[in-house]
Amino acid sequence: MRVKIRKGDTVEIISGRLEDKGKRGEVINVLPDEGRIVVQGVNIRTKHQRQVQTQAGRQINPGRIQFEGKIHVSNVMLVCPKCGEPSRVNVQRDEEGAHRVCKKCQAMID
């Protein structure tokens, strides 16, 4: 599956965990091999860090760490920066390379 979403894009969650559905956020990481992305503020997970004993017997940084979990690209839609609607994109190629075009307003996204 070709990932048409890039770092810095805004996406809307169209399926997946209910509390995140309809949320919008900026893409902060893209993992094309997995077909997954990380979106700021979406799919927040909490990692419980175990207390670590150092050789001196001291504990370092026990506690919880919150982070954004990966989500599959099929659960999101790119939000077009021109019309502000979540939409599918076509990829058009010309001599300058590949451009993404919004299917709703036909605007060239980049």
User: Which residues bind to Zn ion, rule: CB under 5 A?
Assistant: 80, 82-83, 102, 104-105, 107
d(CA 106, CA 82): 9
**Residue 59 dihedral angles phi and psi, to the nearest 5°:** -100, 140
Q: Measured from the CB of residue 77, what is the shortest distance to Zn ion in angstroms?
A: 11
Q: Measured from the CB of residue 106, what is the shortest distance to Zn ion in angstroms?
A: 7
Q: Which is nearer to Zn ion, 10 or 43 (CB)?
A: 10
d(CA 72, CA 86): 16
d(CA 1, CA 41): 25
Q: Measured from the CB of residue 11, what is the shortest distance to Zn ion in angstroms?
A: 14
Q: Which is nearer to Zn ion, 5 or 80 (CB)?
A: 80
Q: Which is nearer to Zn ion, 91 or 105 (CB)?
A: 105
Beta strands 24-31 and 10-13: pairing type? antiparallel
